[in-house]
């Protein structure tokens, strides 16, 4: 039984096998169990894509974010594809992330930690098992193919080997192009892949490190507290995140903190709100208040994309840039009133000139022109830079760490939750659907 392992004073982590023996969700229905076992064995001996020292360096940078001294900008494709793993595409996404970070640093006044949604985002959770044609749904290039044929949609465990190879190519390019200034992250979804890429840390560490990425997060569809994905995140030494949708309760959020950050390590845990622009101002405040009373320094990050998706009359999934901007504005309002640090944004974007989201020059009639995503709609360069401009204004107007009031117990002062919904909404400089 594997039992690798992060130094600390909390209870010893569960053995990995026990942690992932809990109920699972969103896993591939592999047709060939023997083939899966063979692939896992290959991955167990393959070189890791990242090293423990790199993951620890990211934890230290995220600790700065948790203390209110920096801002984390995370972005990239909704779903990476093998075909899209090209120099021009990777460079375009990294350059866009760098341009956005420059705007935030220059106008917002805080250092920016860049975290690319890259080198591992090859699997996606889905809301249904089959698509409109009755075929198994596309679950990302790590699992099956996008083409709507029975052969392509059959889950193939050998694709995990292709995903590892493609991620290695992307990781090498990230390091070469950015000089090691950019970290990578992806959703920890396919547990056969993730568990096979666990590696021991330095002597004395009680937890294994993921060799698949610097930062892993657990998604909204797999965050059940008694599930295998949260169990997997518990045992990791890497910094981890959890997506919190609008049904998340304050009590659940506190339990994530207790389970995933038992040693109270700043930067270890990122809580990513993805409430939707209509819900964020109502749902997020009690969660922030409840978690803050526990005294842990978590990173608060906003994903303004996933709660704002809808189907346009053209039949395309899309998002309005105005809704993205409004959720970010609401997220900052919540943290400003509660005296906590709005620490980051998590965006789906691309440096390619796509027409997938509405606004900043893209109307509904434009959606079919360059709708190229393998899954969910992404911001193009113009839209992403508009978001960066708003973010810079919001960061500049937010109180700095040394300006935030706090009580002796560490509970930050702010608006009482009982009167929260009476607070007026702050207008933001939106784009409209021009």
238 burial level (CB within 10 Å; 0-12, 13-18, 19+)? buried
Pairing of strands 317-319, 309-311: antiparallel
Kindly give the residue spans of alpha helices, DSSP state H, lying in 104-190. Answer: 150-153, 158-178
Ligand-binding annotation for 274, yes or no, is yes
SS3 state of residue 187: strand
> Which H or E element spans position 216?
strand 215-218
Core vs surface per residue 62-99: b (16+ CB within 10 A) or e: bbbbbebbbbbbbbbbbbbbeebbeeebbebbbebbbe
Token pair belonging to 355: 């027409």
Closest-CA residue to 213 (of 189, 231, 229):
189
Cα→Cα distances 322→248, 251, 296, 429, Å:
24, 31, 33, 9
Residue 53, H or E segment: helix 52-66
Which of 261, 344, 257, 263 minimizes the C-alpha distance to 293? 257
64 is in an annotated binding site: no
**Annotated binding residue at 306?**
yes
How far, in Å, CA of 258 to CA of 198, rounded? 23
Closest of 166, 298, 192 to residue 244, by C-alpha = 298
Strand residue runs (E) in 42-126 = 71-76, 112-117
Bridge partners (DSSP) listed for residue 269: 240
What is the 8-class DSSP label of residue 33? H
CA distance 313 to 323: 18
The answer to whether 221 is a known ligand-binding residue is: yes
Distance CA 201, CA 13 (A): 14
Query: Was 78 annotated as part of a binding site?
Result: yes
Q: Note whether 317 and 357 are within 8 A (CB).
A: no
Q: Report the binding-site residues for Mn(2+).
A: 78, 348
Q: Report the binding-site residues for phosphoenolpyruvate.
A: 117, 220-221, 243, 274, 306
Q: Report the binding-site residues.
A: 78, 117, 220-221, 243, 274, 306, 348
């Amino acid at each position: 039984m594997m039992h690798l392992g992060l130094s600390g004073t909390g209870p010893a982590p569960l053995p990995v096998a026990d942690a992932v023996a809990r109920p699972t969700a969103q896993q591939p229905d592999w047709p060939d169990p023997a083939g899966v076992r063979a692939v896992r064995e290959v991955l167990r001996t393959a070189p890791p894509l990242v090293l423990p020292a790199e993951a620890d360096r990211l934890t230290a940078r995220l600790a700065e974010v948790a203390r209110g001294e920096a801002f984390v900008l995370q972005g990239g494709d909704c779903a990476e594809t093998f075909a899209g793993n090209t120099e021009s595409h990777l460079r375009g996404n990294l350059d866009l992330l760098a341009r956005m970070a420059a705007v935030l640093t220059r106008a917002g006044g805080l250092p920016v930690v860049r975290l690319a949604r890259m080198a591992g985002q090859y699997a996606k959770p889905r809301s249904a098992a089959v698509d409109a044609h009755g075929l198994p749904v596309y679950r990302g290039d790590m699992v099956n193919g996008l083409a709507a044929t029975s052969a392509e949609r059959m889950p193939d465990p050998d694709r995990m080997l292709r995903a590892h190879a493609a991620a290695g190519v992307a990781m090498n390019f990230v390091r070469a192009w950015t000089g090691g200034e950019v970290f990578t992250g992806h959703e920890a979804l396919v547990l056969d892949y993730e568990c096979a890429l666990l590696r021991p840390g330095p002597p004395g560490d009680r937890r294994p490190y993921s060799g698949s990425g610097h930062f892993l997060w657990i998604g909204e569809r797999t965050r059940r507290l008694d599930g295998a994905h949260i169990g997997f995140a518990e045992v990791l030494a890497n910094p981890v995140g959890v997506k919190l949708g609008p049904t998340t309760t304050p009590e659940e959020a506190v339990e994530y903190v207790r389970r995933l950050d038992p040693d109270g390590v700043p930067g270890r845990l990122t809580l990513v709100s993805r409430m939707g622009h209509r819900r964020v101002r109502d749902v997020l405040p009690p969660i922030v208040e409840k978690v803050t009373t526990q005294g842990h320094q978590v990173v608060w990050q906003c994903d303004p994309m996933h709660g704002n998706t809808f189907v346009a009359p053209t039949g395309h999934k899309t998002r309005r840039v105005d809704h993205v901007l409004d959720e970010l504005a609401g997220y900052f309002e919540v943290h400003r009133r509660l005296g906590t640090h709005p620490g980051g944004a998590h965006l789906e974007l691309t440096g390619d000139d796509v027409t997938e989201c509405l606004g900043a020059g893209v109307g509904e009639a434009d959606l079919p022109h360059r709708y190229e995503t393998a899954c969910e709609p992404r911001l193009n360069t113009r839209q992403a830079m508009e978001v960066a401009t708003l973010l810079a204004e919001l960061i500049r107007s937010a109180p700095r760490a040394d300006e935030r009031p706090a009580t002796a117990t560490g509970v930050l002062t702010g608006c009482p939750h009982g009167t929260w919904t009476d607070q007026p909404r702050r207008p933001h400089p939106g784009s409209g659907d021009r």
